[in-house]
Copies of this chain bind each other. A is one copy, B any other.
Amino acid sequence: MATVKIGLLGFGTVGRGVYKVLQTHREKIYNTLGVEVEIGRVLVRNLEKYQKTYPELIDLFTENPEEIIDNPEIKIIVEVMGGINPALDYVLQAMKNGKSVITANKDMVAERGRELFATHEEQGVDFLFEASVAGGIPIIRTLKESLAGNSFKEVIGIINGTTNYMLTKMSLFGTPYEEVLKEAQEKGYAEADPTSDVEGLDAARKLAILASIAFNSRVTFGDVYAEGITRITPIDIQYARELGGVIKLLGIAKEDEEGIEVRVHPTIIPESHPLAAVNDVFNAIFVEGDAVGPLMFYGRGAGELPTASAVVGDIIEAVKNISHHDTGRIGCTCYLEKPVKPIGEISSKYFIRLVVEDKPGVLASVAQVFGNQSVSIASVIQKRSLEDLAELVVLTHRVKERYIRDAVSVLKGMSTVREISNVIRAEGDF
């Protein structure tokens, strides 16, 4: 076999990146594999548009997915169209036709992993998805293969570049959320509808995928508690700094004897934590293995070429497996069934910012509420803000989330408490 043909489903940013990387490294890839890798067909929505901009590919574009999925010449499908439908149907059908599938589609993997892996195993084809998490950072195969001699209790990551860029700007310049969002949109880092990034949904999908692999148990998007950065203000960031911390949107996955916890939310971490120095659009994933100890992987989590780097790494694997008659060798690793804890059952430290009446006994009564819920307070910052009101920041010790929720709900009902301005989780030692 001298040539393996791949079919591209989609020719957006990532698809074009894959085309470019395959072109640039044609020789290196041939030297690695002893086989040529060629794009055989490209599914696009608007044939005319692409035929003009990519005349060298004019014969490869098609608007008909069957010309790729049912094409016996094409051995590997690269799905970079995004969204669950119709991508899922195409990919399942392609596997049933004996083709290996590579995808960058985190929505599909995080929501429909079970069917995808079942079909992949039934058919004995490859199903690879390195690009679905943290763009160019090699993490999926690393966890599944190089680190297979470890068990993991914790995966913590900055896995959304848009919000990390925004929080970095807010931290450096004190820029408010709305303004920094506009700037991110102008730079192309945030989309016109930024919901998926700023509400933590994008990160939640990636975290579901990471947790499934780390804990050998299927975690889906719906299992992940997601809270975004829309309520973070420069004031919160300033107080966090006073406590020696920075605010990052983290994906946190942990496992203990009670089950798995998976949550995405703004988190205050100590300035000395390796993740605290990860700025701008960069991503990083921190894992702790029982043998290897702490590991951190840092790089670009998105973008045309970084994402294409991950896809092409998978293409090379899939081509090698086809030419060695060894497809399907990297299987699903979710052979256990572990429960996912509801958010009330997780434990964290909490930063609570509130506005109270500035008169004798108020601090005592606030402290009493926490005490009644068995919440132990680590530190308090009190500042006079407006006339007869004071701003109070409370940092708690580690405690179950439901106790905090109960305490906050009691506080909300108190006449001396004017506002619960924010509640932010914190990890690490302050």
Query: For the complex, what is the distance from the CA of A136 to the CA of B142, rounded to whole Å?
Result: 12
A298 contact from B150, B298, B312, Cβ within 8 A: B298
> How close is A332's CB to chain B, nearest CB, in angstroms?
11
Contact with B along A21-40 (1 / 0, CB 8 A): 11011001101100000000
Partner of A142 from the list B25, B28, B138, B325 (CB cut-off 8 Å) is B138
- List residues of chain A with CB under 8 Å of any chain B CB: 17, 21-22, 24-25, 28-29, 31-32, 130, 136-138, 141-142, 145-151, 216, 274, 277, 289-300, 303, 305-306, 308-313, 315-317, 320, 324-326, 329, 333, 335
Q: Pick the contact of A313 from B21, B148, B324 — CB < 8 Å?
A: B148
* A138 / chain B contacts, CB cutoff of 8 Å: 142, 146-147, 295
The answer on a CB contact under 8 Å between B290 and A136 is no
Which of A28, A149, A305, A313 has the most chain B CB atoms closer than 10 A to its own CB?
A149
Assembly of this chain: how many copies?
2
> How near does chain B come to A268, taking the closest CB pair, in angstroms?
19
| A59 to B: closest C-beta gap in Å | 24
Please tell me which one of the listed residues B295, B305, B316, B324 contacts residue A145 in the complex, with CB atoms under 8 A apart: B316
Asked if A299 contacts B293 (CB within 8 A), the reply is yes
Q: Is there contact, CB below 8 Å, between B299 and A296?
A: yes
CB atoms of B326 and A293 under 8 A apart:
no
Contact A298 B274 (CB under 8 A): yes
Most-contacted residue by chain B among A290, A291, A292, A325 (CB, 10 A): A291
Give min CB distance, A125 to chain B, whole Å: 14
Given A277-B277, A316-B145, verify A300-B306 contact (CB < 8 Å): no
A149 and B316 within 8 A (CB): yes
Is there contact, CB below 8 Å, between A306 and B292?
A: yes
CB–CB A309/B291 < 8 A: yes
Which of B290, B309, B333 makes the CB contact (< 8 A) with A147?
B309
> Smallest CB-CB separation from A306: which chain B residue?
B292
The distance from the CB of A336 to the nearest CB of chain B, in whole angstroms, is 8
Q: Which residues of B contact A333 (CB under 8 A)?
A: 31-32
- Chain B residues whose CB sits within 8 angstroms of the CB of A315 once the complex forms: 149
- From known contacts A292-B136, A329-B324, infer whether A29 and B312 are also in contact, taking CB-CB under 8 Å: no
Q: Contacts of A25 on B, CB cut-off 8 Å?
A: 149-151
Task: List 13 additional A-B contacts (Cβ < 8 Å) besides A21-B149, A274-B277.
Answer: A25-B151, A138-B142, A138-B146, A146-B313, A148-B316, A289-B309, A291-B306, A292-B305, A293-B300, A294-B299, A295-B299, A324-B329, A326-B326
Q: A138-B147, A313-B149 are in contact. Are A297 and B300 (CB under 8 A)?
A: no
Q: How far is the CB of A132 from chain B (nearest CB, A)?
A: 14
Contacts of A149 in B (CB 8 A): 21-22, 25, 29, 308-309, 311-313, 315-316
- Once bound together, how far apart are the Cα atoms of A315 and B136, in whole Å? 26
A216, B24: Cα distance in complex, Å: 16
Q: Specify which chain B residues have a CB less than 8 angstroms from the CB of A29 in the assembled complex.
A: 148-149
Q: Within 8 Å CB of A303, what residues of B?
A: 293
**Chain B min CB distance to A319 (Å):** 10
Identify which of A17, A145, A151, A305 gathers the most chain B CB atoms within 10 Å of its CB. Answer: A145
B329 touching A305, Cβ below 8 Å: no
Closest to A18 in B: B149
- Max chain B CB contacts within 10 Å: which of A31, A130, A313? A313
Report yes or no: B309 in contact with A300, Cβ–Cβ below 8 A: no
**A/B interface sample: 8 pairs, CB < 8 A:** A25-B150, A31-B216, A136-B293, A136-B295, A148-B312, A149-B316, A292-B310, A298-B298
